[in-house]
Amino acid sequence: MSWLLRPLAEQAAALRTGQVTSTALVEEALGRIAQLDGALGAFLRVTVDLARRQAAEADRRLAVEGEGAPDLCGIPVAIKDVLCTEGVETTAASRILAGFVPPYTATAVRRLAEAGAVSLGKCNCDEFAMGSSTENSAYQLTRNPHAPDRVPGGSSGGSAAAVAAGLAPAALGTDTGGSIRQPAALCGVVGFKPTYGRVSRYGLIAFASSLDQVGPFTRTGGDAARIYRTIAGPDPRDATCSPRPVEDPMPTLELGLEGLRLGVPAEYVASGLEPGVQRVFEAACQRLVAAGAQLEPVSLPSTRYALAAYYVIAPAEASSNLARMDGLRFGPGRPGAVTLREQLEGARHLGFGPEVRRRIMLGTYALSRGYYDAYYRRAQQVRTLVAQDFHRAFAGVDAIIAPTSPTVAFRLGERLSDPLAMYQSDVLTVPFSLAGVPAASVPAGLADGLPVGLQVAAPAFADAHCLRVARGVERALGVAEPPDLARRAAP
Ligand code: GLN
């Protein structure tokens, strides 16, 4: 089996005994990308030379530091294209940033590099991370590795597909309303959105600043914990990043589910789930009970307003964040523009895709005089109610579980002309985002051959606990098989 399909701990051990080198791992990844990614479309840019240089450096470091080297030293990773990488073009999958080569690196990416991880390149996503299918990328489609006629989810679809297909053992994504958890569920891998403020947003191209969070995609919960503890923690460059020290998830990771009370929100399983998703979720619940967990119904009554509130708050913040995109130094330009206004209008007209324009218009409207109180303020009030629901629920249970997405991966094109249907994909992930709590998605099984994800959430800053429960769920349910395509590929 390919090294890249094995847990990071096994790769790390093999790197230390000399059974494999970082250069060999990276060449294997580059080979698989060359073989599979033409059809998959997970990467926007593969940084071959940089990856080879970093791998050679990691091999030297492993030779010198041996067991003392960080556990990610020499491990290849992929990066969502909304995270800035010094010297490597970063577009957020938007035309308006075509040709933008950042002069600095995002903190999360820098921390991986400092730990010796090797960056393979930048992954496709929805433009500015707005979407649930990666179809809003201005550059290319990404296909689901389990079914090439279906979406990988979004917005971090390229990162999810890369890990599912074994092109990289881990990838970074971002989650504002579900963009790590939903594609992880649809591609059958693990995704983890840490507590808001746990991972620095420095160098992340902002979508909705009060919600955006960086986190990992991996094949296992243990791997997610390894990436998480490397990227988490205070950063003087991001004032919204919490100064609290990070609790290491590794010592408690394998404690299992015995005696844990897991809350199942009545509102999330009552209706609206595809029958296949419902079946997989119910079967998973039985296995969690068999593994020693106690399931308890909990109620999150404000949840029914969460999606509507999110689609006011996120576009409002996006409309102000995107006001900086002037198209003056990169992007499609505006030949013939004389005034600044002509330049701005022209560059934005050519540079932004339809969904981004829709969000800017929604957000600008919601913030405008006379409508602010009716929409933005009310949405913020709903946000508080949603957070209070979670607070109350967590007083009685150790974690909350729910399906991640109401459906399995849908067909390419199916929801493109119906924005509300697309927004519905986030109905089960958005409430956790509004509350700012940590949440993971773990593979729960297959419905008609397509992956279904189970979401695990814990109170704010109980990230280590969330990962422990996610790992316990994973052990109870069995680690998901990679898609056929990944198993068939060489080596
Ligand atoms: N699909 C949601 C949206 O379009 C969430 C996106 C995200 O988390 N970045 O806003």
CB environment 310-345: b (16+ within 10 A), e (fewer): bbbbbbbbbbebbeebebeebbbbbeeeeeeeebbe
Whether residue 136 has its Cβ less than 6 Å from ligand 1: no
From 80, 125, 132, 156, give the residue whose CB has the most ligand 1 atoms within 8 Å, as the site to mutate: 132
Residue 435 in contact with residue 387, Cβ under 8 Å?
yes
Q: Is 210 exposed, middle or buried (0-12, 13-18, 19+ CB in 10 A)?
A: middle
Taking the C-alpha atoms of residue 85 and residue 354, their distance in angstroms, rounded to an integer, is 26
Cα 262 to ligand 1 centroid, rounded to whole Å? 26
Pick the CATH number of 3-255+478-488 from 3.40.50.970, 3.40.800.10, 3.40.50.300, 3.90.1300.10: 3.90.1300.10
pLDDT of residue 487: 84
Whether residue 74 has its Cβ less than 6 Å from ligand 1: no
Q: Whose CA is nearest to atom 10 of ligand 1?
A: 130
pLDDT of residue 94: 98
Low-confidence ranges of the chain (pLDDT < 70): none
pTM: 0.98
Cα 238 to ligand 1 centroid, rounded to whole Å? 22
Instruction: List every span in the chain annotated with CATH 3.90.1300.10.
Output: 3-255+478-488
Q: What is the pLDDT of residues 225-243, one digit of tens each?
A: 999 999 999 999 999 999 9
Q: Is 63 exposed, middle or buried (0-12, 13-18, 19+ CB in 10 A)?
A: exposed
Q: What is the pLDDT of residues 321-336, one digit of tens each?
A: 999 999 989 888 777 8
Residue whose token pair is 């489609």: 141
Residues with catalytic function: 80, 155, 179
